[in-house]
Amino acid sequence: MGNSQSSTYPPNDVLDIANLIPTSQNVELKMREGCTSLCLAITDNRLITVINHRTRRVLHTFSVKDRDQQEFIVKSVFFSKESIYVAIGTSNGNVHMFNLLTKILSVSVVTHDCAITALSIGATSMPSKYQVVSCSSDGCIFKYNFFENQVSNLMIDKGVGGIVSAVLITNHGQDIVLAYMGGRIVLLAYQEKPTIKTLGGDLIAIVSLANHHVLCASSDGIVSQIAMRGNHSSIIHNSHCNSKITALAASNNITVIGFSSGHVLIIMGLITWRYDVGTSVKDITITEKIIFISTVASVFLINDHC
């Protein structure tokens, strides 16, 4: 990156919440935009713990079980923006909704034939109305209107095909953006034909930007900005290293990239800051003036003005 500066600093604050999580060597933390104080700890891919990382308190602990009380493997989770619901996709293809206010876990609202690979909660044109888009390993994509209890199958041309690794709901629920393993991005817009963009590498993360632009990261270390309506595209970062990108977030003119090597890049215009958080980055959230970075059993806070 021309004229960029790079420096290494420790994070401004670290919240070590390992003592709140059941003992295990396999804990993954997840955070999402809009959740200024909540994170999910997923233990052994089964037990879900909802934690307020500001107060260091466990709010809920639960797992998704079948009739024989066997716990399903959690494959994907997503917070609603107002932190009311958590959508949970499991290895048997079910999608459940957990209400953080009532502490009620729904029966399966959507049932796929194969494991869930990606899902997203998004608002609709109606206030406080949500929809969930879920994708499974057999290529099926379902949209569930939560308050109308309707499920629709989003038919995608078989020529597109493949496994969806990330999904976004944007434009008040009118647009759905799908990122595929293999490097394709597909825009499904209301009453329009699908728009298909082809990139290189397996896409592992996608973030919505203003004016129908998205930011996407591939496993080979490239972060690109794509205009879903138009032909503009540009590479904003190429890591040129063996460390894989594991997380991506963006807000205003700030882009934050997390790597499996445990370092984080914060890009603001022509300036780049590098932070070392020690272990592989699992998730990144930008909210207000703070960047939240989660690794295994720790949450780091960095002021976005660095």
Q: Is residue 144 part of a domain?
A: yes
Q: Does 141 have pLDDT greater than 80?
A: yes
Cα-based angle 175, 178, 182 (whole degrees, multiple of 5)? 155
Share of the chain above pLDDT 70, in %: 87
Q: Is residue 120 part of a domain?
A: yes
pLDDT band at 160 (very low <50, low <70, confident <90, very high): low
User: For 27-31, 90-94, 153-157, 168-172, which range has the lowest pLDDT when averaged over its residues?
Assistant: 153-157
Nearest to 43 by CA among 254, 297, 252, 288: 297
Average pLDDT of every residue of the chain: 83
Q: Does 159 have pLDDT greater than 90?
A: no
Q: Is residue 176 part of a domain?
A: yes
Q: For 20-54, what is each residue's pLDDT tens digit?
A: 887 767 888 888 766 667 888 898 899 999 988 87
3-state SS string for the chain = CCCCCCCEECCCEEEECHHHCCCCCCEEEECCCCCCCEEEEEECCCEEEEEECCCCEEEEEECCECCCCCECCEEEEEECCCCCEEEEEECCCEEEEEECCCCEECCCCEECCCCEEEEEEEECCCCCCEEEEEEECCCCEEEEECCCCEEEECCCCCCCCCCEEEEEEEHHHCEEEEEECCCEEEEEECCCCCEEEECCCCEEEEEECCCCEEEEEECCCEEEEEECCCCCEEEEEECCCCCCEEEEEEECCEEEEEECCCEEEEEECCEEEEEECCCCCCEEEEECCEEEEEECCEEEEEECCC
Most confident of 42-46, 229-233, 286-290: 42-46
In residues, how long is the chain? 306
Q: Is residue 3 part of a domain?
A: no
- Which of residues 157 and 102 earns the better pLDDT score? 102
Average pLDDT over residues 85-104: 90
Nearest to 29 by CA among 48, 11, 12: 48
pLDDT score, position 302: 83
Q: Does 246 have pLDDT greater than 80?
A: yes
Nearest to 135 by CA among 80, 199, 197, 87: 87
Q: Does 67 have pLDDT greater than 80?
A: no
Q: Is residue 108 part of a domain?
A: yes
Distance between CA atoms of residues 292 and 54, nearest Å: 12
Q: Is residue 288 part of a domain?
A: yes
pLDDT score, position 94: 92
Distance between CA atoms of residues 185 and 174, nearest Å: 17
Q: Is residue 1 part of a domain?
A: no
Query: Are 161 and 147 spatial neighbours (Cβ–Cβ below 8 Å)?
Result: no
pLDDT band at 304 (very low <50, low <70, confident <90, very high): low
Distance between CA atoms of residues 275 and 26, nearest Å: 24
- Tokens at residue 122, please? 């998004």
In terms of residue numbers, what domain contains 164? 8-303
Q: Does 1 have pLDDT greater than 50?
A: no
Q: Does 126 have pLDDT greater than 70?
A: no
Q: Is residue 2 part of a domain?
A: no
Task: For residue 210, give Cα distances in angstroms to 76, 239, 250.
Answer: 25, 25, 11
State the pairing for strand pair 130-136/222-227. Answer: unpaired
CATH of the domain at 91: 2.130.10.10
Query: Phi/psi of residue 172, each to 5°?
Result: 55, 40
- Total of domains in the chain: 1
Query: Would you tell me how many other CB atoms lie within 10 Å of the CB of residue 209?
Result: 17
Cα dihedral sign for 108, 109, 112, 117?
negative
